[in-house]
Each structure stands twice: as structure tokens, then as C-alpha cells.
Chains A and B, each alone.
Chain A
């Protein structure tokens, strides 16, 4: 058993009284959580963060008699370091002794429903909730001690898990908690501890999850090994939109080492005691060939094909503040992005156990509660009989195969009650079946007045849905394979202010006249869903490239031009910081080498991020070297600077990979990218030579989500640098060596 033993001990030993599940079950909401603001229902809108949906203190914090403090979060560790940041908050605000805190995350039997861990919401939602719950609990501990000692609470103080009186008396939290009822709602605006008292917040604290990952300690769902566990693989065609021609179930069952073949309609899973025979059996089956399951995909120019698809037109912004302005020059541009892959390094995996009529699934899904609901429907079980426990997987960056493989595992496990089943997708299954980040097209036009100011701005974006996370059984691959198949949930756009395809389509700049339209394309030729940043990657790319195009047209410096159109002082500050740290004004362009800048505030609600890249192009090959990347970030109050830096550095490198190398190809029937040779991503030889991240810490300000903030600005900064270095504006991603070379020519 690989789930941390402390948790088992806590669960089994009964030290923790579970909070009533009923209330949580009622709070089931639409899937989407942070993604679309459609998580569990808000029951106390006056409370901050996720306290609005789960106001009771003991849902968040419990104190065992021995002083052990358990903090619960509905958010999951995805490699973003959220566990560490949340523990920092709890340690400081509760004023705990070292090693007295346990954090339990994303488990439908234990933690609050916080929807999906996505949209850079974790600190805003869960961090805010835990911080305020901690302030409440500490306040109650002080009050309880004051009651026992009959002194005024204001005379008391806390220190490392104890409450102290001026006369030297002290009581541990564990003692006090016995007389404390935490099954009460939090109160808003509970005062926080002074900044001076902090030991963890604002400091780079080593991440709690890294040590095990470096030393081979069990850290991932892929590593779970339970007694009598079976190894399973699911049988599918080579890609989304196909199925295997014939599956000879009897023949598979006879293969050496195969324990069972689970079949339901078109769903087939192979189970064996050992892993290697299942893999071999899978390949034997693949020999049968495949057939398409949908009409042929549109071929030819991708952008044109997308713009031809039926779309719902949605006005997003219609601003006419200065109708009288006189434009003297107008330009227009069209930008495109191909389908992109999440491409987790570890293919999706889940472990499921069906026992006594109840299903337990260890999953790296981003949303254990929405997953549970959809699984219950798939398995025809009451929702209470399904438990989903988050266990880390390989970084996912959005909705990948995690939920699908959980359904595959559950269906397989149901057929072998009492035996745990580890369902592992193969590389080609992840490449072939994971939902893709949608291809997108934007058309921008803008007008300058005689003073070189932007007086008119139009932005139209075409996109497939960015949120097809499972909210019902039909949203799983398996849900459409079983008989009878479940209906898929019809795609819905994510409303503003967060937005999906139109995320970040509204410019933060102060343009007097601006129109933004979203052409939402519900029909998906390829399977799509949420990929880190959703539409922001493309919209920020488009806006920030177009700003540079306008700046060039107005003969203005790109940094000065941005500052001149930006009223938000925090935005100005990050742009200035990035430019200063880079040495923008001192930088001298060389032949084939230039610097590009870009900025965005993620969703116009999250972190502010400006990026400057120093890029050199080899004109013979079109290959690019990123000599230096400098980022400036304002995430509000900084909890773990190292954690934020890690996220931004990673975002820069990943976004450069997307922007420079990546595109999912497809032919008439299927994706053509089936492994890393057909879908190359960044390698060490082509990542930047140096990356620096500068943080603007805003003490006391709300936390702003950071995880996705770098994706858009990095893409645009790269394109802008390439444009300045080569004199060629490339508007279609990927800006690969081949594309750049084609733009330069041989001159």
C-alpha cells in the first residue's frame, strides 16, 4: 500500500471525526470548478475563497487531541507546489510547531469539494479559504483558552501550537480543541496574524513533495502497488475517431498470462498478473487494423477549415468611449494556432478497487468530485459508493487522459471484485486519445491616430470548446464505448470574465474603442478540452503580436508603446520591471538577433506577467537560440517565491516548446502524432540559455493565480523578437525553424 501511512493511521485509528458527507454531496455542482466559475454552489457568498462553498471550519481544519493539525484542501498537487504553499499558510496563520501539520488533499471521502484544480485558482480558492479558516480557528483557540482561564482573549498569545498567558500558563492546541466545536461556519474578516510573526509565508520553502520524487519514494499513482493487484490495458484504435477493426475476445483470453478480458460493448480491457504480457497482447490485437468512427476530417488549410465550421457568435466587448477619434492608419492581421497536446511524460494511469459494492479510484484527475459524479453514473452506483482519491500523476497541464483512464480502471475493476486494478495507458494512447488544446484563429484590426495612439481595436476569435471535462458518464471515452452508450454533455462556452476560447481576448489596454467577438465552435472535428491557459495562449499571442505590429507602424518602441496605452499601474510596473532587468534601453540589436517583449494579466484577473526574450536566428536554418528570458511577475501576495519562480520558468520553457515546435497533425480519419517522433517537444539543446524571474511582492494583497501566466506572453515575446530579428512577421504557430527559414528565404 503506497498511500502515506500517516494517512492510513489517521483514517483507521479514528483520530479524526469525518465531517458529515451529506452537506458536501448537496454541494455538488457542475464540473468546471475554477475553470468556468461553475464549481459547487456558493452557500455563503460573503466568505472569501472556497469558504463561500464550504463555510464550515472543520471541513478545512481539524485538531487531534495530540495536537496534530490536519488541514484539508480540495485542490490537488499537480507539480505546481500547491501542497507546500497551503502548508505555509496554515503553519503561519495557525502558528504551529514544526512537524505537527498534515495536509490532506482532494479525496471525496475527506476533503471539501473545490471543483477542479485548474485555472490558476488554487491559491485564490483554497489558499484564501485555508488562510481565513486558520485565522478563525486560531481565534477560537484563543477564546477557548481565555474561557478556561477566565482572562481576556486579547491578553493571550499563541506560540508553536500552544496558547500562552502572560503569567506563563500554556495549553496545547490538542487540549483546547477537545472543548471546541469547529463544526461552525467561518466568520468573515477575521484578523490575520501580523506580517512580522510569519515564519513561512513569503519565503522560499523547499517543496514537501520533492524529496520522495528524487529518491524513488513512491510518489505517483503509477507507482501504487496493492496486494493482488492486476495490471490492465485498455484496447482502442490508434486515435480518437477510430476503433479496432475486430477484437477477438476469446483469442485474447487464451493468450499466455492473461487473467481476464473485460468487455462491454466496444469497451475492452485486458487484465493480467504481470505487466509485460498485457503489453504484448495489446500489440497482437492491434494487428487487426482499425476503422474510422466518424466522417472524414476537413483537410487543407487548418485556419480556413476552422473558420468554416458552424459557430455561435458571442459579443464579448463593445466599447465606444471615444467615437469621435480620427484614425489615420489602419492595419489588420490574422493569427493561427494548431491543435496542441498536453503530452504528459507519464501516460495516464489509475488504480481502482471494487469491494463490497463500493468503488475506490486512485486518480490523478484534476477534479475528484466531478469525476466521482460521472463515475457513479457510468457504474450505476450511488454517488456515496464511489470514492475518488487524488494521487499524483505526471504533470497534466489541463484535461488529459486522467479522467478517461479512471473510468477505464473502474470498469475493469468492477469485473474483478476484491482485486485492485492498475490501468495504465500506453504512450500512443495518450498521444492518440487525450483531448487536445483546440486549434484557434484570430483576426485583429486596429487604427492609429495622428499621434500614434491606438484609437480603435477589433478582435475576433474562432475556437473549439476548451472545457470538455467530464460532468457525466458520456464524457468519458469508455462512456461512449459501453452498451448502451451514454450521451456526451453538449459543449458550452465558459462565460466571461474567465472565458474559454475568449480567455484574455479582452485587452487590458486602455483603448477608447474596442470590439471583441468570440466565435464558439461547438462541433469538434478533433477531441478538445482544457490545455494550460485555454484561449489565453492564443489571444495574448495575438494581442501582443498585434501591439508590436501597431508599434512598428507608429514607429514607437514596443515597451514605451505598451506603457503609453496602459492605465493599470501594476501592469505598468511589471512591464517596466521586465524591461529594466533585461536592460531594454541599453540593448543593441545585432544582425539576426533582437529582443521581444510581451505582457498579459492572466484572465485579466490573475497574475501580471511581462516577458522579454533575447532571440538569435540562424538565417541558414531558421533555428532560434533564446539567449535570455527575463520575466517580471506580480502574483499579489507571494507565499512561496521559489514556487512561483518554478512555475514561471516552467511556463516559459513549455510555452516556447508549444510556440516553436508543436502541432498535432491529422489526416482524414485520425491524428498522425502517435509518439514523440511525430510530436517533437523542447529538448535540452534548444531551451533558453538563461531564464530569470523577478517577483513584485504585494504584501497583504489577494493571491493571484500564477500557474498559467507565462504561456501567452512568452509566445508573443518570441514572435516579436523573431519579427525584429528577421524583419518578417510570422503569424502562424508553430514558429518552427522551417517556418522561420521559409519566411526569411535565402537572400
Chain B
């Protein structure tokens, strides 16, 4: 008994030792050194051209979406980012020496962008898309650094993250990186022209379009073998940007460029959900870069069905009324005033409903979110506006409305609409 116990204890000790050793080894593996703090660089240290280059990149990178809170100072962080693993908060990337990145040297900044490691050596969550940013050139990283280090410093500590235990333990991220993180390299594709290549560099890299438009695995990893096959973000579906694009009208470079720069395509629809901010940021970027991005993605979608043939827009009004009279009544009072062909908005040139890709996606999610959340341009700016119906319509009513719309204009069959509405409400909460 005693011996057994003794030997049992020895085995247990051995196991513990192995675990500890493995843990230490892991910690050593996961360890990244801190990079020494510097005195915040003077403004004059950066030439205007570098700052301007960084400014454009920051807009294409849509940095504000995660690093500028609603009503908060630009780049001061604090934006809650809901992930399946808990809630993160965008960090303060102003040059404040205490709460921001004011004491980060350029190598520290470059390491964070390329390896997802903060100046103090801690690993960064992959919600920060270093898997995309790793392809940025030194010159572009320098531009971004110049831009960020010349912003107004804001002293503001973002709220603490709330991750599901033990995911708050950052060294674990080294394991995630081991499994999924492959630093991106950009190489010019000689089969395409310079504009296309520029678009690929920007789109795959700083703009990290795949962050939303590519599917993710269970551990939040982007499935690199299915780039741009469609993904999920904040309870919205980001449709594919490849040959499986469900858009009912072709995405030509011209149309895409207009859409990206204005948030509105008269052959498609208005940018809704998280895409609204992307378009708003791109509206301030000089033309060739947006043109380049549009060229690249138009090419990726060049084999999509709509690129081959633009089908007539389905409008089965009578059948839809018969099948879903409740939805039809809601539509006539709530939606028709803006969306029917004779509505002033349509007369003025805004696209009709069935042009919207939402009608042709395999999931009703985007239509539901648009109905629940509406569409709003930034304060004081012109642009498509739609009121939110979240507090007006019940789940059943939204489902009735969606069923009506789908029967009338849709090209895909959706089921379990009421459940979808409930899920959309839950996941769409900011």
C-alpha cells in the first residue's frame, strides 16, 4: 500500500515535472523580449511625404474601426470587439507615452505589425490582422509609423479585455501562431499589370479584406485555402469576393471603385453594416489606390455568374403577397415608401431592392441585419440612410417581411427565418 503509494507519488511527481518542464519550454518558446522604450520622437522627425503615405494606408487599413471608439478621440482605442472567445478592446495607438505607443520604437512597431507582438513582448490577439499586415513593405510600415507617431497623443487606457478563461493568458497565443500564423509575403504576379498587383498588395495586405470576407476555422483562424470565400463579422455575412460571388450584377472595376469610394453602387446597393466604415475611410484615399483595389477584386470575381450573364431581376409581387400577406402589409407601410420603383429615392437613382447582393446570398443574415440596424451615414454626411427596425418589429414580423422579400425578389431559399432573426439580434449587438 505504502509502496504503491510511494511509486504512485513518484509517477505523479514525474508527470508534474514533465508538465512543468513542458510549460517552461512553452513559455520559453512563447517568450518574446521587450523592446526598449524610447523617448517619443519629435514631430519634425517625420517628413510630410511619409506621413501622407501612412495616412492613406491607415484609411485603407480601416484602423479607426477598431481603434476609434464611438464619440471617442481618433486612434485612442476602446472599441469593444466581440469575438467567439470573448470581448477585446481596440488599443490606444496614439503616441501617448503611457497609454498609447509613444514609447514604441519603429522596430517595436514593425514587430507588432509583422509578428503580432507588442513592444513589451506580449502576444497580440489575431483580431489584430498581423497575418495580413506582415506583407507590408518597410517603406509602408515606416509611413504608418510616421503617421501614427504624429497624431495627437490621447491619454486613455482602454477597458480590460474579457476573454473566456484561459484565453486571457497571452502566451497561449504563441501556440495559436504556431498552428496558424504564416507571415505573408507579397510577390508581384507577372501575369497581371501593375495596377492589379498594387491592388493585390493593398487588398491582401493593409486593407485585410480577407479579415471579413474569408471564412474562419473554429479557432478563429482565417482559412487560407479558401481566400475570399465569404466570412462572418459582427453578426453580418461578408459575401465572397471570388468566383462564387452571389451578386446579381457583375462587379466591374468601375462599379466596385464607385462603391468603395461612395458606399453606393447603383447597380448593387448601399454599403451596410461594417462595410459602411470601410467605404467612408476609402472615400478619403486618393484614386489610384482605390482603383487598384477595385481592379484586383473585380478580377477575382471575373468568373462569378453575374460576370457571365446578368439575369433579369426577379419580381414576383403577386406570388409574394399571396404567400406572405403579413409580410406584404409590413412592406407596403414600411419599405415601399423608399424602395418601390415609384418611390422618390428610386426615382432619384438609388438602386432597387433586388439589385442588393443580400437577396442572393445563401444566408438571410445581411437582409435581417439591415432591417434591424438600418443604414446611417456618418453625422453630417450625405449618403444612403435607412431607419433601424429593431425596436419596431418583432422577430416574427421581421421573418414575415424577409419571407415576403425573398419570395418576391430572392434567388435563394432560406429556412428557419424566425430563428435566424433571433440569432442576428444576439450576434449583432455591439
Interface residues in chain A, defined as those with a beta carbon under 8 Å from any beta carbon in chain B: 238, 279-280, 282-287, 289-290, 426-428, 432, 591-592, 618-621, 623, 660-661, 672, 674-680, 682-683, 685-686, 736-738, 741, 745-747
Contact of B151 among A282, A620, A682, A738 (CB under 8 A): A620
Dominant secondary structure at the B interface: loop
The answer to whether A283 and B336 have CB atoms under 8 Å apart is: yes
Chain A residue at smallest Cβ distance from B349? A672
Measured CB to CB, the nearest residue on chain B to A620 is: B74
Residues of chain A contacted by B345 (CB below 8 angstroms): 674-675
Q: Are B379 and A685 in contact (CB under 8 A)?
A: yes
Are B344 and A238 in touch, CB under 8 angstroms?
Answer: yes
Q: Is the C-beta of B176 less than 8 angstroms from some C-beta in chain A?
A: no
Q: Give the chain A neighbours of B54 by CB distance below 8 A.
A: 746
CB-nearest residue of chain A to B75: A620
CB<8 Å pairs between A and B, sample of 22: A238-B348, A282-B342, A283-B336, A286-B344, A287-B341, A287-B342, A289-B347, A426-B344, A428-B348, A618-B73, A620-B152, A660-B380, A672-B348, A674-B344, A674-B347, A677-B382, A677-B383, A678-B382, A736-B380, A737-B378, A746-B55, A747-B51
When chains A and B are docked, how far (Å) is the Cα of A101 from the Cα of B383? 50
Do A283 and B381 touch (CB < 8 A)? Answer: no
Residues on B with C-beta less than 8 A from A675 are: 344-345
Is A428 a contact partner of B384 (Cβ separation < 8 A)? no
Contact with A along B335-352 (1 / 0, CB 8 A): 011001111110110000
* Also in contact, A283 and B340, with CB within 8 A (given A680-B380, A737-B380): yes
| Total residues of chain B contacting the partner, CB 8 A | 33
A428 closest partner in B (C-beta): B344
Q: Please, which residue of chain A has its CB at the minimum distance from the CB of B376?
A: A677
With both beta carbons as reference points, the residue of chain B lying nearest to A676 in the complex is identified as: B385
CA distance A320 to B295 in the complex (A): 63
- With known contacts A286-B342, A676-B385, A685-B379, A619–B152 Cβ distance under 8 A: yes
Complex Cα–Cα for A618 and B343 (A)? 38
Contact status B147-A746, CB under 8 Å: yes
Q: A41–B69 Cα gap in the complex (Å)?
A: 62
- At the interface, yes or no: B226 with Cβ under 8 Å from chain A? no
Which chain B residues (345-404) contact chain A, with CB distance < 8 Å?
345, 347-348, 377-385
Closest B residue, CB atoms, query A592: B152
Q: Is the beta-carbon distance between B343 and A680 smaller than 8 angstroms? A: no
Instruction: Return A452 CB to nearest CB of chain B, in Å.
Output: 33
With the chains together, A732 CA to B139 CA distance in Å?
A: 36
Can you name the residue of chain B whose Cβ is closest to the Cβ of A746?
Answer: B55
| A669 vs chain B, min Cβ distance (A) | 12
Does B284 reach chain A (CB closer than 8 Å)? Answer: yes
Point out the residues of chain B lying under 8 angstroms from A432, CB to CB. Answer: 344
Q: Given the complex, which residues of B lie within 8 Å of A426, measured CB to CB?
A: 344
Residues of B within 8 A of A660 (CB): 380
Closest to B375 in A: A677
In the assembled complex, which residues on chain B have CB atoms less than 8 Å from the CB atom of A674?
A: 344-345, 347-348
- Measured between C-beta atoms, what is the minimum distance from A53 to chain B in Å? 43
**Proximity bits, B44-55, A CB within 8 Å = 1, else 0:** 000010011011
A591 to B153, CA, bound (A): 12
Question: 15 other contacts beyond A238-B347, A280-B336, A683-B380, with CB at 8 A cut-off?
Answer: A282-B342, A283-B337, A284-B342, A287-B341, A289-B347, A428-B348, A618-B73, A620-B75, A660-B380, A672-B348, A677-B385, A679-B382, A680-B382, A738-B381, A745-B52
B150 close to chain A: CB less than 8 A: yes
Q: How far is the CA of A591 from the CA of B347 in the complex (A)?
A: 46
A/B pair count, beta carbons within 8 Å: 83
Q: Which of A591, A661, A678 contacts B380 (CB 8 A)?
A: A661
Pair A686/B377 contact, Cβ less than 8 Å: no
Chain A residues with Cβ under 8 A from B377's Cβ? 677, 680
- Closest B residue to A657 by beta carbon equals B380
Q: In the complex, what's the smallest C-beta–C-beta distance from B399 to chain A, in angstroms?
A: 25
A747 x B150 contact (CB < 8 A): yes
**Do B343 and A286 touch (CB < 8 A)?**
yes
CB distance from A672 to the nearest CB of B (A): 7
- Give CA–CA (A539, B25) in the complex, Å: 76
Specify the chain A residue showing the minimal Cβ separation from B386.
A677
**Bitwise interface map of B from 15 to 50 toward A, beta carbon under 8 Å scored 1, else 0:** 000000000000000000000000000000000100
Asked if B342 and A285 make an inter-chain contact with CB atoms under 8 angstroms apart, the answer reads: yes
Given A283-B336, A746-B147, answer yes or no on A686-B380 (Cβ-Cβ < 8 Å): yes
The answer on a CB contact under 8 Å between A677 and B336 is no
B67 to chain A, nearest CB (A): 11
Contacts of A428 in B (CB 8 A): 344, 348
Residues of B within 8 A of A661 (CB): 380
**Best-buried of B336, B341, B378, B380 by chain A (most CB within 10 Å):** B380
A746–B52 CB distance below 8 A: yes
For the complex, give the distance between the alpha carbons of A677 and B270 in Å: 13
Specify which chain B residues have a CB less than 8 angstroms from the CB of A621 in the assembled complex.
74
Residues from chain A with Cβ under 8 Å of B75 in the complex: 620
Kindly list chain B residues whose C-beta atoms are within 8 Å of the C-beta of A591: 152
Contact B342 A283 (CB under 8 A): yes
Give the distance to chain B from A474, nearest Cβ to Cβ, in Å: 27
Contacts of A747 in B (CB 8 A): 48, 51, 150
Contacts of B344 on A, CB cut-off 8 Å? 238, 286, 426-428, 432, 674-675
For residue B381, which residues in chain A have a CB less than 8 angstroms away from its CB?
Answer: 680, 736-738
Of the listed residues B382, B383, B385, the one surrounded by the most CB atoms of chain A closer than 10 A to its CB is B382
A424–B385 alpha-carbon span in the complex (Å): 24
8 Å CB interface, B55-94 against A:
55, 73-75
> Which residues 139-175 in B have Cβ within 8 Å of A in the complex?
147, 150-152
| Chain B, range 284-321, C-beta contacts under 8 Å to A | 284
- Closest residue on chain A to residue B336 by CB atoms: A283
Residues of A with C-beta under 8 A to B385: 676-677
Least Cβ distance of A273 to chain B in Å? Answer: 19
**A741 and B284 form a contact (CB under 8 A):** yes
Q: How far is the CB of B62 from chain A (nearest CB, A)?
A: 14
Instruction: Give A685 to B378 CA distance when docked, in angstroms.
Output: 11
CA A620 – CA B54 in complex, angstroms? Answer: 13
Q: Known contacts A677-B384, A741-B284: does B342 contact A686 (CB below 8 Å)?
A: no
A680 contact set on B, CB distance < 8 A: 377, 380-382
Would B382 and A746 count as touching, CB distance under 8 A? no
Residues from chain A with Cβ under 8 Å of B332 in the complex: 280
Tell me the minimal C-beta distance from B342 to chain A in angstroms.
Answer: 4
Tell which of A283, A618, A623, A746 has the most Cβ of chain B within 10 Å: A746
Write the nearest CB–CB distance from A275 to chain B, whole angstroms.
Answer: 13
Task: Please give me the residue from chain B that is nearest to A621 by CB atom.
Answer: B74
Q: Shortest beta-carbon distance, B94 to chain A, in Å?
A: 10
Taken together as a complex, chains A and B put the C-alpha atoms of A678 and B343 apart, in Å, by 15
Q: Does B51 contact A746, Cβ atoms closer than 8 Å?
A: yes
Q: Top 10 A-B pairs ranked by shortest CB distance?
A: A428-B344, A677-B385, A746-B55, A286-B342, A620-B74, A283-B342, A287-B342, A674-B348, A661-B380, A238-B347
Query: CB-CB < 8 A to B380: which residues of A?
Result: 623, 660-661, 680, 682-683, 686, 736-737
Q: How far apart sit A618 and B74, CA to CA, in the bound complex (Å)?
A: 8
Check B74 against A683 for contact (C-beta < 8 Å): no
How many angstroms between the C-alpha atoms of A747 and B52 in the bound complex? Answer: 7
Quick one: closest A residue to B55, CB to CB? A746
Using CB atoms, name the residue of chain A closest to B64: A620
Q: Which of A283, A618, A674, A675 has the most CB of B within 10 A?
A: A283
Contacts of A286 in B (CB 8 A): 342-344, 347
Which residue of B is nearest A237, CB measured?
B347
Shortest distance in angstroms between B12's beta carbon and chain A's nearest beta carbon? 59
| Alpha-carbon distance A675/B343, docked complex (angstroms) | 12
> Considering residues B74, B344, B377, which has the most beta carbons from chain A within 10 angstroms of its beta carbon?
B344
With the chains together, A657 CA to B383 CA distance in Å?
A: 17
How many whole Å from B54's CB to the nearest CB in chain A? 8
Q: Which residue of B lies closest to A619 (CB)?
A: B152
Instruction: Please measure, in the bound complex, the distance between the C-alpha atom of A488 and the C-alpha atom of B336, giving whole angstroms.
Output: 37
Query: Which residue, of A619, A679, A747, has the highest number of chain B Cβ atoms within 10 A?
Result: A747
Contacts of B343 in A (CB 8 A): 283, 286
In the bound complex, what is the Cα–Cα distance between A680 and B380 (angstroms)? 6
Complex: how many Å from CA A672 to CA B151?
37
